[in-house]
Structure 1
Amino acid sequence: MHAFVLQGKSFVYKEVEEPVVSQNQVKIKLKYAGLNHRDLKLPNRRNEADPALVIGSDGAGIIVEVGEGVREFTIGDEVIVNPGLGWKEKSDAPPEGFEILGLPDNGTFAGKIVVSEDHVEKKPAHLDWKEAGVVALSALTGYRAIFSKGQVKSGDTVFIPGAGSGVATYLIQFAKAADARVIVTSRSEQKRAKAIQLGADLAIDTSADWPEILQNEQIDIVIESVGKATFNRSLEVLKRGGKLVTFGATTEDDVTINIRKFFYGQYQLLGTTMGSREELRDMLRFIETKDIKPVVDQVFDLKDTQEAFDYLQAGKQFGKVALKIG
């Protein structure tokens, strides 16, 4: 079968051996997979001598084989892959040993994948295949950030810098489904317009004077994923005692803050990453109940994954980028 792999520190589209099913595992013929910024950074975690590894964390397809001991699934089931390995119950932080599919285990950018049945969920019926293929990682990350950590409630105002990311498009929809007011930022006028169409109440230019524009707003929660470029600017508009939830850093990781100003403001700084299987299942029920769907910006064929990576790296997308496999 063909796959997009990380060989040493280089990405390669090549023929690889089909995986073999063991006890308590299922084999899925993948139809679509989803790109994440995590994929772009994987070469930094590998050595040149390392063997080829199929990358990719998100995917959806049909079960074509089940191993001995599998009880929850049968051949023909339409499923999505849970990319979080080793985190079952909701908790304050992931357990020791938690990993994300696609490193160290082979991932979803291939014709087929074998995973434990513990890391498979039924495909939400209201999603088509490309939507199902991109939903798990980003939507779970957003769900935990805004509900488990941010504890958003009706009437809150949520501020989301960087409106075009896949997680941000889920956050907008999640916050609106919780009856919150949503404010986003983007450098792109087109992305700001799309955010409004998706449900955001206000979209402002990233380069604008945020305190000036938002002086009549009370920002209860900031969901921050940009990092150094916006972190202190986000704190500047957050209400005293408000929550800043951070799950990423698409700019630099290291951030310097005025700690005295921080503790005088009694701000709450909360970190989060991905989520548990329990939260994934809660999220899937939530999007079915609320009829929430992923925003899929572009679809590329598996053989064109490098082109898809270049598109994602350039920040051109509004929402998710998918790979067509089947």
Structure 2
Amino acid sequence: MSSLAREELSAFLARVLPATDATSSVAGVLKAIAASCAEVSLALRTEVICSANGKNKFGDDVLSVDLLADDCISRHLQQCPHVAAFCSEERPTLTSVSSSSSKPVNESYCVAFDPLDGSSIIPCNFAVGSIFGIWRGNYFIGQKVSDIVSSVVVVYGPRTAMFLAHRAFGAAEFLLEKNGQWQKVSNEPLTIKPDAKIFAPGNLRSVSVLPWYRRIVKDYMDSGKTLRYTGGMVPDVCQILIKGNGVFMTPEAAPKYKVKLRVLFECGPMAFLIQCAGGYATTGLGDYMDLVIVELHQKSPIALGSKNDAKRFENACSNQQRTMGKL
């Protein structure tokens, strides 16, 4: 990592975004997200973690910190004049924000977010995170992943790091300082090399029923690649940005080992982030950016990171589907 480039978030956005965005719209949404995540970071270090005695609509157990993060982020988005609507993984129904109703469509946004991805590994004190995707307008259905304007991923670990993605500047990393300010950490853009040295194999149990996936994992092990996998999508993907290479993979193996990752709340924003850093993301059948959102609950397989490795996953999965007569 290069020496610190001391540039605060607001100054960075004003410098790199087109004037129309920086002065009025998406920059305001990004700053609202950043402020909410600074609060969540502090809360995670001080709150007692306990069960919320319930499950979300996807069947996942809900912890007290899930609800705390969801409430905090929702409050900040409701107060942002450029947010037309939002939806979270904990409450996957669209919430409209009346304060943006008078805004032109190109100055209002809908935000999908996972308030605390990986909360099941919090008791182990592993890193967890928040994921955000920002689309124009007031509704997600019918839009593509490629229609994302910006995405944000925050890692709550020994340090709190935030990764921003936008086509105007690519991908950039910020660290949360003691004073609550977000500071950019490097003059150099985040870039992902085409070949992976590290791999993170999600849904690993599926190797028992997916020979093509078993071959990929075995080849990585036999060739001396480094296995780095925590079970949390945020740290497992963000390590690729820090290391500058790597691949994260999660195949579908229905009905025994179904994929759990959601397009709107996790995979779509992550795919956009990786693409902005020069990597590639795939559904296993094609470019993830071409995927159309058809429902808020939509799930999909994904492989992302170094282009050649994500393409290898795509080719193997596609060939298997052709062999089975599904393509």
Confirm or deny a common fold (TM above 0.5).
Answer: no
Which structure has greater strand proportion? Answer: 1
Of structures 1 and 2, the one scoring higher in RCO (CA 8 A, sep 6+) is 1
Structure 1 length normalisation: TM-score?
0.27
Structure 2 length normalisation: TM-score?
0.27
Which structure has greater helix proportion? Answer: 2
